[in-house]
Amino acid sequence: MVRLNYDVIVVGGGPAGMAAAITCARAGLDTILLERGRFAGAKNLFGGVVYTASVLSLVPDLFSASRLPFERPVTEEGWWILSQDGVVKITHTNATLRESPPRAFTAFRAKFDAWLAKQAQKAGVLVVPKVRVIDLLIKDNFVCGVQTDRTASWDDHRPAQVKAPVVILAEGVNRILSIKAGLVPRDFSPKEVALSVKEVLQLPKGELESRFGLQKDTGLAVELLGEASLGLPGTGFLYTNTSCLSLGVGLFLIDYATHNIKPYALLEHLKRHPVLAPLLAEAETLEYGAHLIPEWGFFGLAKLCGNGVLAVGDAVGLVNPLFREGTNLAIYSGILAGKAAIYAHKKGNFGYHTLRLYEEALKDSYIYQDLRYFRKLKTFLQQNKSFFQTYPYLLNEVLHLYLTAQGRAKQEVFKEICQLIRKQRGVTGLLGDFVRAMKFLKGW
Ligand SMILES: Cc1cc2nc3c(=O)[nH]c(=O)nc-3n(C[C@H](O)[C@H](O)[C@H](O)COP(=O)(O)OP(=O)(O)OC[C@H]3O[C@@H](n4cnc5c(N)ncnc54)[C@H](O)[C@@H]3O)c2cc1C
């Protein structure tokens, strides 16, 4: 860090921070991005599927790059609904995706974030890794810079301060600075964040393709429901990469504590599932990690910006867990915050009333509409446990009975299916769940 005054400081080199920094630098603003990791992406973990549209909105010439920062295109996606010993697979395969740009790709954050950092440098951003921002500089009620964990110079051992009239906080789920800035009232509660554990598994050569029915240019991305999360609100995932696969599972933090479940034991349980175990046979673990996902924190928000400061991405809970969307919301919010910073520089005014252009643009976007629409999903699922506890298992049993020749009259089988449904959920329960689900989908 040679110079210590910039037009914009971005804290955090994930997709949100990179998008904000690139947007500002392309408009000619002198932009510095501070990232605590050894390099952008070094400390980051996700499932991971990235969405083409969001990446294109930041890097329009994405497909002219000689090497894409992705693993496989996602050509088949959906849900595997697990019981204790079976699975109902609901997936959709799009054959035309092999010709046109796919809507999504699997990826690794270490590669994807590092590639975004290169795009940022190309745009003129000074990307500085290995620097942790430890505090905000606040003067006359305006955020005007940050304090880092680096020393100012070789002979000045005080923490280095970097100054700018706009600071964009893209620090992710551990939103210490956003709280300090007064943007969010508190940390996420254990009911609002999920903890996911993930393993990257290497199969013997050629086995990935043969076990998952893949070609060189196809890929599978499925969410795992039911027994994957032991019938609790949560999901697992299985995504295929170029030569390995990503397998993970997550629950709300509170449920680990309440049900005394160890995260690693949950993943082991998933790996031993009779449907998954043969698919994972002889797999070697390449990576193991865990990360928090802010699943329902968005509406605990006070504001998205203040005097001289904006917050983007996971820091403000921009995640849509039902559709495993996070990186795209991070990128869009970063772009919108960047535009607000540009506008503030043009006006020469960095107060809340100028920067709230970002808040307004976000409220007009599909991000806000989606998060608003699904705002009560957590409460809905927590109050209607049968969607995780009963239906995945019931669906498996019903389809098993329906599809398998039983050596008896079909009418008798149908009767048994009806009895099973009545016993496990009851007609009133079933109707009640249906009505509540419809009400929920209509937006309450
Ligand atoms: C297990 C899991 C699976 C997921 N799967 C998907 C998926 O398949 N698809 C999808 O779209 N989304 C997925 N998500 C969500 C997605 O990863 C996040 O929504 C997205 O990464 C948020 O981006 P961000 O830039 O806001 O935060 P982050 O990606 O968390 O980046 C924050 C950055 O800030 C840095 N930082 C933090 N504090 C400081 C500081 N004080 N000083 C300097 N640097 C700092 C961190 O090192 C990090 O690089 C998943 C998340 C998890 C945990």
Report pLDDT digits (tens) over 267-289: 999 999 999 999 999 999 999 99
Tell me the mean pLDDT in the region 354-367. Answer: 94
Q: Which residues belong to CATH 3.50.50.60 in the chain?
A: 8-68+107-188+297-373
Task: Give residue 186's pLDDT.
Answer: 84
**Domain 8-68+107-188+297-373 is classified in which CATH homologous superfamily?**
FAD/NAD(P)-binding domain (3.50.50.60)
Question: Contact 305/352 with Cβ under 8 angstroms?
Answer: yes
Q: Name which of 375, 195, 202, 408 is nearest 290 in CA terms.
A: 195
Q: Which atom of ligand 1 is nearest to the CA of 239?
A: 8
Q: Output the six-digit token pair for 382.
A: 């927590």
Q: Ligand 1 in contact with 49 (CB < 6 A)? A: yes
Task: Give residue 153's pLDDT.
Answer: 77
Report the range out of 23-37, 312-326, 394-408 with the highest average pLDDT. 23-37
Question: Token pair 């002219």 is at which residue?
Answer: 64
Domain range 193-294, CATH class? alpha beta
CA distance 279 to 89: 15
Helix 327-347 vs helix 15-26: crossing angle, to nearest 10: 30
CA distance 49 to 16: 15
* 12 Cα to the center of ligand 1, angstroms: 9
Question: Token pair 């950092």 is at which residue?
Answer: 117
Q: Ligand 1 in contact with 226 (CB < 6 A)? A: no
pLDDT tens, position by position, 43-91: 899 999 999 999 999 999 999 888 899 999 999 999 999 999 999 999 9
Q: Ligand 1 in contact with 234 (CB < 6 A)? A: no
Coil, strand or helix: which one is 312? coil
* 176 Cα to the center of ligand 1, angstroms: 14
Task: Give residue 298's pLDDT.
Answer: 67
Q: Which atom of ligand 1 is nearest to the CA of 16?
A: 25
Q: Which residues belong to CATH 3.30.9.90 in the chain?
A: 193-294
pLDDT confidence tier of residue 379, bands split at 50, 70 and 90: confident
CA distance 211 to 84: 21
* 38 Cα to the center of ligand 1, angstroms: 15
Q: Which atom of ligand 1 is nearest to the CA of 13?
A: 49
The residue contributing the CA closest to ligand 1 atom 27 is 172
Q: Ligand 1 in contact with 248 (CB < 6 A)? A: yes
pLDDT tens, position by position, 8-57: 999 999 999 999 999 999 999 999 999 999 999 998 999 999 999 999 99
Question: Contact 25/49 with Cβ under 8 angstroms?
Answer: no
Q: Which of 36, 103, 108 to mutate to test the pocket of ligand 1 (most atoms within 8 A of CB)?
A: 36
Global pTM exceeds 0.85? yes
* H or E stretch at 354: helix 352-364
Q: Ligand 1 in contact with 102 (CB < 6 A)? A: no
Task: Give residue 347's pLDDT.
Answer: 97
Q: Ligand 1 in contact with 236 (CB < 6 A)? A: no
Greater confidence (303 vs 244) lies with 244
Q: Can you say whether the dihedral through the CA atoms of 373, 55, 115, 207 is positive or negative?
A: positive
Q: Ligand 1 in contact with 109 (CB < 6 A)? A: no
**Per-residue pLDDT for 194 more than 70?**
yes
pLDDT confidence tier of residue 266, bands split at 50, 70 and 90: very high
DSSP type of residue 420: H
Task: Give residue 55's pLDDT.
Answer: 97
